[in-house]
Amino acid sequence: MHWGIGFASSRSCVVDLSRNQSISFGLWAGSEEPYTFYGDIVAFPLQDYGGIMAGLGSDSWWKKTLYLTGGALLAAAAYLLHELLAIRKEQEVDSKDAIILHQFSRPNNGVPSLSPFCLKMETYLRMADLPYQNYFDGKLSPQGKMPWIEYNQEKVSGTEFIIDFLEEKLGVNLNKNLGPHERAVSRAVTKMVEEHFYWTLAYCQWVDNLHETQKMLSLSGPFSDLLKWIFCHLTKGIVKREMYGHGIGRFSEEEIYMLMEKDMRSLAGLLGDKKYIMGPKFSTLDATVFGHLAQAMWTLPGTRPERLIKGELINLAMYCERIRRKFWPEWHHDDDNTIYESEESSEGSKTHTPLPDFSFYSRTETFDDEGAENSISRTPDTDFTGHSLFDSDVDMDDYIDHEQCK
Protein backbone atom coordinates (compact mmCIF):
# COMPACT_ATOMS: atom_id res chain seq x y z
CA MET A 1 0.00 0.00 0.00
CA HIS A 2 1.22 3.49 -0.86
CA TRP A 3 0.60 6.68 1.06
CA GLY A 4 0.01 10.33 0.21
CA ILE A 5 0.57 13.46 2.30
CA GLY A 6 -2.16 16.07 2.52
CA PHE A 7 -3.46 19.09 4.44
CA ALA A 8 -6.87 18.64 6.08
CA SER A 9 -8.78 21.81 6.93
CA SER A 10 -11.97 22.45 8.84
CA ARG A 11 -13.20 24.21 5.69
CA SER A 12 -14.07 20.87 4.08
CA CYS A 13 -11.07 20.56 1.84
CA VAL A 14 -8.00 18.40 1.55
CA VAL A 15 -4.95 19.59 -0.35
CA ASP A 16 -2.88 16.69 -1.63
CA LEU A 17 0.70 17.91 -1.20
CA SER A 18 2.08 14.85 -2.98
CA ARG A 19 0.31 15.77 -6.23
CA ASN A 20 0.78 19.53 -6.43
CA GLN A 21 3.91 21.35 -7.50
CA SER A 22 2.94 24.46 -5.54
CA ILE A 23 -0.02 25.68 -3.55
CA SER A 24 -1.15 28.95 -2.04
CA PHE A 25 -2.76 29.17 1.38
CA GLY A 26 -4.02 32.73 0.88
CA LEU A 27 -7.37 33.46 -0.78
CA TRP A 28 -8.16 37.02 -1.75
CA ALA A 29 -11.74 38.18 -1.88
CA GLY A 30 -11.52 41.88 -2.58
CA SER A 31 -9.98 42.70 0.79
CA GLU A 32 -6.46 43.38 1.99
CA GLU A 33 -6.49 40.58 4.53
CA PRO A 34 -6.00 37.00 3.26
CA TYR A 35 -8.04 34.10 4.54
CA THR A 36 -6.05 31.62 6.63
CA PHE A 37 -6.34 27.84 6.58
CA TYR A 38 -6.18 25.97 9.85
CA GLY A 39 -5.82 22.23 9.94
CA ASP A 40 -3.48 19.30 10.11
CA ILE A 41 -0.97 17.52 7.96
CA VAL A 42 -2.42 14.04 7.30
CA ALA A 43 -1.31 10.86 5.56
CA PHE A 44 -3.80 8.76 3.56
CA PRO A 45 -3.60 5.48 1.62
CA LEU A 46 -3.40 5.53 -2.17
CA GLN A 47 -4.74 2.83 -4.41
CA ASP A 48 -2.07 1.33 -6.65
CA TYR A 49 -3.72 1.55 -10.05
CA GLY A 50 -2.27 -1.12 -12.31
CA GLY A 51 0.45 -2.14 -9.87
CA ILE A 52 2.81 0.60 -10.96
CA MET A 53 5.52 -0.15 -8.42
CA ALA A 54 5.26 -3.90 -8.94
CA GLY A 55 5.48 -3.44 -12.70
CA LEU A 56 8.84 -1.71 -12.46
CA GLY A 57 10.57 -5.04 -12.13
CA SER A 58 13.78 -5.93 -10.36
CA ASP A 59 15.90 -4.09 -12.91
CA SER A 60 14.29 -0.74 -12.02
CA TRP A 61 15.49 -0.52 -8.43
CA TRP A 62 16.81 3.00 -9.00
CA LYS A 63 13.32 4.17 -9.94
CA LYS A 64 11.94 2.68 -6.75
CA THR A 65 14.65 4.50 -4.84
CA LEU A 66 13.65 7.74 -6.50
CA TYR A 67 10.00 7.19 -5.56
CA LEU A 68 10.89 6.44 -1.95
CA THR A 69 13.22 9.43 -1.74
CA GLY A 70 10.60 11.69 -3.29
CA GLY A 71 7.97 10.47 -0.83
CA ALA A 72 10.28 11.10 2.11
CA LEU A 73 11.06 14.61 0.88
CA LEU A 74 7.35 15.32 0.39
CA ALA A 75 6.61 14.17 3.92
CA ALA A 76 9.46 16.32 5.28
CA ALA A 77 8.28 19.32 3.25
CA ALA A 78 4.75 18.89 4.59
CA TYR A 79 6.02 18.70 8.15
CA LEU A 80 8.25 21.73 7.58
CA LEU A 81 5.24 23.62 6.23
CA HIS A 82 3.32 22.74 9.36
CA GLU A 83 6.10 23.72 11.75
CA LEU A 84 7.46 26.88 10.13
CA LEU A 85 4.23 28.42 8.86
CA ALA A 86 2.29 27.41 11.99
CA ILE A 87 -0.74 25.90 10.27
CA ARG A 88 -2.81 25.67 13.38
CA LYS A 89 -5.49 27.60 15.14
CA GLU A 90 -4.06 30.89 16.32
CA GLN A 91 -4.41 31.88 19.93
CA GLU A 92 -6.22 35.05 20.83
CA VAL A 93 -3.76 37.88 21.39
CA ASP A 94 -5.04 40.67 23.58
CA SER A 95 -2.85 43.70 22.87
CA LYS A 96 -4.91 46.17 24.91
CA ASP A 97 -2.40 48.34 26.79
CA ALA A 98 0.20 45.59 26.30
CA ILE A 99 3.15 45.29 23.94
CA ILE A 100 3.07 41.97 22.11
CA LEU A 101 6.48 41.26 20.57
CA HIS A 102 6.41 38.79 17.67
CA GLN A 103 9.81 37.27 16.96
CA PHE A 104 11.61 34.07 15.97
CA SER A 105 11.78 31.27 18.53
CA ARG A 106 14.72 31.02 20.92
CA PRO A 107 17.75 29.03 19.69
CA ASN A 108 19.00 26.14 21.81
CA ASN A 109 22.39 27.64 22.72
CA GLY A 110 21.09 30.02 25.41
CA VAL A 111 21.26 33.15 23.21
CA PRO A 112 17.96 35.08 23.03
CA SER A 113 17.90 35.25 19.22
CA LEU A 114 19.94 34.51 16.11
CA SER A 115 18.38 37.61 14.56
CA PRO A 116 20.23 40.88 15.28
CA PHE A 117 17.00 42.85 14.85
CA CYS A 118 14.93 40.67 17.19
CA LEU A 119 17.65 40.94 19.83
CA LYS A 120 17.86 44.69 19.25
CA MET A 121 14.12 45.14 19.73
CA GLU A 122 13.86 43.06 22.89
CA THR A 123 16.94 44.74 24.37
CA TYR A 124 15.41 48.15 23.62
CA LEU A 125 12.21 47.22 25.46
CA ARG A 126 14.27 46.20 28.47
CA MET A 127 16.34 49.37 28.33
CA ALA A 128 13.17 51.46 28.20
CA ASP A 129 11.67 49.29 30.97
CA LEU A 130 8.51 48.63 28.96
CA PRO A 131 6.65 45.46 29.96
CA TYR A 132 6.08 43.20 26.97
CA GLN A 133 4.94 39.72 26.07
CA ASN A 134 6.91 37.50 23.70
CA TYR A 135 4.99 35.65 21.03
CA PHE A 136 7.12 33.05 19.23
CA ASP A 137 4.56 32.16 16.57
CA GLY A 138 6.84 32.55 13.57
CA LYS A 139 4.24 34.73 11.87
CA LEU A 140 5.62 37.63 9.86
CA SER A 141 4.09 41.10 9.88
CA PRO A 142 1.73 42.17 7.07
CA GLN A 143 4.83 43.70 5.44
CA GLY A 144 6.69 40.39 5.73
CA LYS A 145 8.98 41.67 8.51
CA MET A 146 10.28 40.25 11.78
CA PRO A 147 10.18 41.40 14.55
CA TRP A 148 6.95 43.34 14.85
CA ILE A 149 4.65 44.41 17.65
CA GLU A 150 0.99 44.77 18.44
CA TYR A 151 -0.22 47.47 20.81
CA ASN A 152 -3.87 48.33 21.32
CA GLN A 153 -4.76 46.47 18.12
CA GLU A 154 -2.17 48.44 16.10
CA LYS A 155 0.49 46.48 14.23
CA VAL A 156 3.91 48.03 13.62
CA SER A 157 6.93 46.42 11.94
CA GLY A 158 10.50 47.55 11.33
CA THR A 159 12.54 48.27 14.45
CA GLU A 160 12.99 51.96 13.60
CA PHE A 161 9.24 52.47 13.13
CA ILE A 162 8.46 50.42 16.24
CA ILE A 163 10.72 52.63 18.36
CA ASP A 164 9.20 55.81 16.89
CA PHE A 165 5.73 54.40 17.61
CA LEU A 166 6.55 53.57 21.24
CA GLU A 167 8.14 56.97 21.80
CA GLU A 168 4.99 58.66 20.52
CA LYS A 169 2.49 56.45 22.33
CA LEU A 170 4.28 55.86 25.63
CA GLY A 171 6.57 58.88 25.92
CA VAL A 172 9.81 56.93 26.30
CA ASN A 173 13.00 58.39 24.86
CA LEU A 174 16.41 56.82 25.35
CA ASN A 175 18.03 59.62 23.32
CA LYS A 176 16.84 62.62 25.29
CA ASN A 177 20.35 63.23 26.66
CA LEU A 178 21.83 63.48 23.17
CA GLY A 179 22.37 66.81 21.41
CA PRO A 180 21.75 67.41 17.69
CA HIS A 181 25.30 66.45 16.71
CA GLU A 182 25.19 63.28 18.82
CA ARG A 183 21.83 62.30 17.35
CA ALA A 184 23.27 62.72 13.85
CA VAL A 185 26.27 60.55 14.73
CA SER A 186 23.95 57.98 16.32
CA ARG A 187 21.86 57.70 13.16
CA ALA A 188 24.94 57.42 10.93
CA VAL A 189 26.36 54.60 13.07
CA THR A 190 22.96 52.88 13.11
CA LYS A 191 22.85 52.86 9.32
CA MET A 192 26.42 51.52 9.12
CA VAL A 193 25.52 48.68 11.47
CA GLU A 194 22.13 47.78 10.02
CA GLU A 195 22.79 48.35 6.32
CA HIS A 196 26.41 47.20 6.06
CA PHE A 197 27.78 45.34 9.08
CA TYR A 198 24.58 43.25 9.24
CA TRP A 199 25.20 41.70 5.81
CA THR A 200 28.73 40.63 6.70
CA LEU A 201 27.35 38.95 9.82
CA ALA A 202 24.61 37.27 7.77
CA TYR A 203 27.26 35.92 5.40
CA CYS A 204 29.30 34.49 8.26
CA GLN A 205 26.23 33.09 10.01
CA TRP A 206 24.21 31.64 7.12
CA VAL A 207 26.83 30.96 4.43
CA ASP A 208 30.35 30.47 5.79
CA ASN A 209 29.40 29.06 9.21
CA LEU A 210 26.14 27.36 8.28
CA HIS A 211 26.96 24.05 9.94
CA GLU A 212 27.33 25.64 13.39
CA THR A 213 24.22 27.79 12.89
CA GLN A 214 22.23 24.66 12.04
CA LYS A 215 23.14 23.16 15.43
CA MET A 216 21.69 26.20 17.21
CA LEU A 217 18.25 26.04 15.62
CA SER A 218 15.49 24.79 17.88
CA LEU A 219 13.20 22.43 15.98
CA SER A 220 11.52 19.33 17.34
CA GLY A 221 9.81 16.38 15.76
CA PRO A 222 10.68 13.18 13.90
CA PHE A 223 12.30 15.06 11.01
CA SER A 224 14.05 17.75 13.05
CA ASP A 225 17.55 17.17 11.65
CA LEU A 226 16.29 17.05 8.07
CA LEU A 227 14.14 20.12 8.64
CA LYS A 228 17.08 22.05 10.04
CA TRP A 229 19.15 21.11 7.01
CA ILE A 230 16.40 22.16 4.60
CA PHE A 231 15.71 25.42 6.44
CA CYS A 232 19.40 26.37 6.67
CA HIS A 233 20.10 25.74 3.01
CA LEU A 234 16.97 27.62 1.96
CA THR A 235 18.08 30.54 4.13
CA LYS A 236 21.59 30.32 2.71
CA GLY A 237 20.23 30.74 -0.80
CA ILE A 238 18.04 33.66 0.25
CA VAL A 239 20.93 35.42 2.03
CA LYS A 240 23.27 35.01 -0.95
CA ARG A 241 20.63 36.34 -3.34
CA GLU A 242 19.81 39.32 -1.10
CA MET A 243 23.50 40.09 -0.61
CA TYR A 244 24.07 40.04 -4.36
CA GLY A 245 21.18 42.46 -4.83
CA HIS A 246 22.58 44.68 -2.07
CA GLY A 247 25.95 44.68 -3.80
CA ILE A 248 28.11 43.40 -0.97
CA GLY A 249 27.54 39.82 -2.11
CA ARG A 250 29.42 40.49 -5.36
CA PHE A 251 32.73 40.57 -3.48
CA SER A 252 34.90 37.61 -2.53
CA GLU A 253 34.81 36.00 0.89
CA GLU A 254 38.06 37.67 1.89
CA GLU A 255 36.76 41.07 0.81
CA ILE A 256 33.52 40.59 2.78
CA TYR A 257 35.48 39.78 5.93
CA MET A 258 37.71 42.78 5.31
CA LEU A 259 34.63 45.02 5.25
CA MET A 260 33.37 43.36 8.46
CA GLU A 261 36.68 44.02 10.20
CA LYS A 262 36.61 47.68 9.20
CA ASP A 263 33.12 48.08 10.67
CA MET A 264 34.11 46.36 13.91
CA ARG A 265 37.24 48.48 14.26
CA SER A 266 35.15 51.60 13.67
CA LEU A 267 32.79 50.59 16.48
CA ALA A 268 35.72 49.82 18.80
CA GLY A 269 37.28 53.21 18.06
CA LEU A 270 33.98 55.01 18.62
CA LEU A 271 33.39 53.20 21.92
CA GLY A 272 36.91 53.70 23.23
CA ASP A 273 36.91 53.43 27.01
CA LYS A 274 33.36 54.76 27.39
CA LYS A 275 30.68 52.71 29.08
CA TYR A 276 28.24 53.06 26.18
CA ILE A 277 28.67 54.13 22.57
CA MET A 278 27.51 57.72 23.05
CA GLY A 279 28.79 58.23 26.59
CA PRO A 280 27.98 57.29 30.19
CA LYS A 281 24.27 56.67 29.53
CA PHE A 282 22.80 54.09 27.20
CA SER A 283 20.79 55.12 24.16
CA THR A 284 18.84 53.47 21.36
CA LEU A 285 22.09 53.03 19.46
CA ASP A 286 23.35 50.64 22.15
CA ALA A 287 20.40 48.30 21.56
CA THR A 288 21.26 48.31 17.85
CA VAL A 289 24.99 47.73 18.28
CA PHE A 290 24.50 45.07 20.96
CA GLY A 291 21.98 43.15 18.86
CA HIS A 292 24.61 42.79 16.13
CA LEU A 293 27.81 42.40 18.13
CA ALA A 294 26.17 39.72 20.27
CA GLN A 295 26.00 37.52 17.17
CA ALA A 296 29.77 37.75 16.73
CA MET A 297 30.29 37.28 20.46
CA TRP A 298 28.08 34.24 21.10
CA THR A 299 26.73 32.67 17.89
CA LEU A 300 29.80 32.37 15.63
CA PRO A 301 32.22 30.03 17.45
CA GLY A 302 35.70 29.81 15.99
CA THR A 303 35.07 32.42 13.29
CA ARG A 304 37.07 35.53 12.41
CA PRO A 305 34.59 37.98 14.01
CA GLU A 306 34.59 36.01 17.28
CA ARG A 307 38.38 35.91 17.41
CA LEU A 308 38.54 39.62 16.65
CA ILE A 309 36.00 40.73 19.27
CA LYS A 310 37.44 38.48 22.00
CA GLY A 311 41.03 39.30 21.10
CA GLU A 312 42.20 42.59 19.68
CA LEU A 313 38.89 44.46 20.11
CA ILE A 314 38.44 43.49 23.75
CA ASN A 315 36.57 46.70 24.58
CA LEU A 316 33.69 45.51 22.37
CA ALA A 317 33.60 42.19 24.25
CA MET A 318 33.43 43.97 27.61
CA TYR A 319 30.75 46.27 26.20
CA CYS A 320 28.63 43.26 25.19
CA GLU A 321 29.11 41.66 28.61
CA ARG A 322 28.17 44.92 30.30
CA ILE A 323 24.85 45.11 28.48
CA ARG A 324 24.15 41.42 28.82
CA ARG A 325 24.60 41.49 32.58
CA LYS A 326 22.55 44.63 33.03
CA PHE A 327 19.57 43.87 30.85
CA TRP A 328 19.70 40.07 30.47
CA PRO A 329 20.52 38.76 33.96
CA GLU A 330 18.86 35.41 33.17
CA TRP A 331 21.09 34.87 30.13
CA HIS A 332 24.09 32.69 30.95
CA HIS A 333 26.57 31.08 28.60
CA ASP A 334 28.85 28.12 29.28
CA ASP A 335 31.59 29.48 27.02
CA ASP A 336 32.04 32.62 29.10
CA ASN A 337 35.65 33.68 29.43
CA THR A 338 36.66 34.11 33.06
CA ILE A 339 38.00 37.58 32.29
CA TYR A 340 34.39 38.74 32.10
CA GLU A 341 33.15 36.87 35.17
CA SER A 342 32.85 38.36 38.64
CA GLU A 343 34.58 36.56 41.49
CA GLU A 344 31.19 35.65 42.90
CA SER A 345 30.12 33.82 39.74
CA SER A 346 29.48 30.13 40.25
CA GLU A 347 30.04 27.27 37.85
CA GLY A 348 26.35 26.53 38.02
CA SER A 349 25.60 29.86 36.40
CA LYS A 350 27.59 28.94 33.29
CA THR A 351 25.19 26.44 31.76
CA HIS A 352 23.01 26.46 28.70
CA THR A 353 19.65 26.97 30.32
CA PRO A 354 16.64 28.11 28.30
CA LEU A 355 15.76 31.75 28.78
CA PRO A 356 12.60 32.18 30.87
CA ASP A 357 9.75 33.40 28.72
CA PHE A 358 8.17 35.85 31.14
CA SER A 359 4.47 36.28 30.47
CA PHE A 360 4.91 40.03 30.80
CA TYR A 361 8.53 40.97 31.31
CA SER A 362 9.69 44.11 33.09
CA ARG A 363 13.04 44.85 34.68
CA THR A 364 11.57 46.72 37.60
CA GLU A 365 7.92 45.59 37.60
CA THR A 366 6.99 49.16 38.58
CA PHE A 367 8.41 52.66 38.69
CA ASP A 368 6.75 53.30 42.03
CA ASP A 369 9.47 53.57 44.68
CA GLU A 370 7.11 54.10 47.61
CA GLY A 371 7.61 51.54 50.31
CA ALA A 372 10.77 50.20 48.69
CA GLU A 373 12.71 50.55 51.93
CA ASN A 374 10.35 48.27 53.81
CA SER A 375 9.93 45.51 51.23
CA ILE A 376 12.00 43.40 48.90
CA SER A 377 10.73 43.02 45.37
CA ARG A 378 12.00 40.00 43.47
CA THR A 379 12.35 40.87 39.82
CA PRO A 380 14.34 39.25 37.02
CA ASP A 381 17.30 41.48 37.92
CA THR A 382 17.47 40.70 41.66
CA ASP A 383 18.22 37.62 43.73
CA PHE A 384 16.25 36.40 46.76
CA THR A 385 17.77 39.11 48.96
CA GLY A 386 16.82 41.90 46.59
CA HIS A 387 20.49 42.46 45.71
CA SER A 388 21.18 43.55 42.14
CA LEU A 389 22.56 40.91 39.81
CA PHE A 390 24.20 43.58 37.70
CA ASP A 391 27.21 43.97 40.02
CA SER A 392 30.39 42.61 38.47
CA ASP A 393 33.99 43.53 37.78
CA VAL A 394 33.25 45.04 34.37
CA ASP A 395 32.41 48.56 35.54
CA MET A 396 28.83 47.99 36.67
CA ASP A 397 27.49 51.02 38.49
CA ASP A 398 24.39 51.29 40.64
CA TYR A 399 21.08 50.45 39.08
CA ILE A 400 19.92 54.00 38.32
CA ASP A 401 20.00 54.26 34.55
CA HIS A 402 16.28 53.60 34.21
CA GLU A 403 15.69 57.11 35.51
CA GLN A 404 16.63 58.48 32.10
CA CYS A 405 13.58 56.74 30.63
CA LYS A 406 11.16 58.72 32.76
Residue 381 banded pLDDT, cuts 50, 70, 90: very low
134 versus 399: the higher-pLDDT residue is 134
State the average pLDDT over residues 306-335: 90
pLDDT score, position 334: 54
| Tens digits of residue pLDDT in 73-91 | 776 666 666 555 544 444 4
Amino acid letter for position 303: T
Q: Which of 156, 201, 157 is nearest to 297 (CA)?
A: 201
Confidence of residue 225 (pLDDT cuts 50, 70, 90): confident
Dihedral sign computed on CA atoms, order 66, 68, 71, 72: negative
Identify the pLDDT of residue 331.
Answer: 87
pLDDT tens digits, 137-193: 878 888 889 999 999 889 999 999 999 999 999 999 999 999 999 999 999 999 999
Q: What is the pTM of this model?
A: 0.67
Does pLDDT of 220 surpass 50?
A: yes
The better pLDDT of the pair 205, 353 is held by: 205
CATH number of the domain at 99-331, please?
1.20.1050.130
> Could you tell me the pLDDT band of residue 287, with boundaries at 50, 70 and 90?
very high
> Mind spelling out the 3-state secondary structure of the chain?
CEEEEEEEECCCEEEECCCCCCCCCCCCCCCCCCCCCCEEEEEEEECCCCCCCHHHCHHHHHHHHHHHHHHHHHHHHHHHHHHHCCCCCCCCCCCCCCEEEECCCCCCCCCCCCCHHHHHHHHHHHHCCCCEEEECCCCCCCCCCCCEEEECCEEEECHHHHHHHHHHHHCCCCCCCCCHHHHHHHHHHHHHHHHHHHHHHHHHHHHHCHHHHHHHCCCCCCCHHHHHHHHHHHHHHHHHHHHHHHCHHHCCHHHHHHHHHHHHHHHHHHHCCCCECCECCCCHHHHHHHHHHHHHHHCCCCCHHHHHHCCCCHHHHHHHHHHHHHHCCCCCCCCCCHHHCCCCCCHHHCCCCCCCCCCCECCCCCCCCCCHHHCCCCCCCECCCCCECCCCCCCCCCCCHHHHHC
Give dist(CA 233, CA 52) in Å, integer. Answer: 34
Provide long-range contacts, Cβ within 8 A and 24+ apart, for 167-170. 170/130
Q: At CA 400, angle to CA 395 and CA 405, rounded to 5?
A: 120
Mean of all residue pLDDT scores within the chain: 74
User: Which of 44-48, 224-228, 317-321 has the least mean pLDDT?
Assistant: 44-48
Query: What is the per-residue pLDDT across 17-72, written as a single tens digit (0 to 9) for each?
Result: 444 444 344 334 444 444 444 455 555 555 544 444 554 455 566 666 776 677 76
Identify the pLDDT of residue 90: 46
State the pLDDT at residue 20.
42
Identify the pLDDT of residue 92.
Answer: 52
Reported as a single tens digit per residue, the pLDDT across 243-272 is 999 999 999 999 999 999 999 999 999 999
Domain ranges of the chain: 99-331
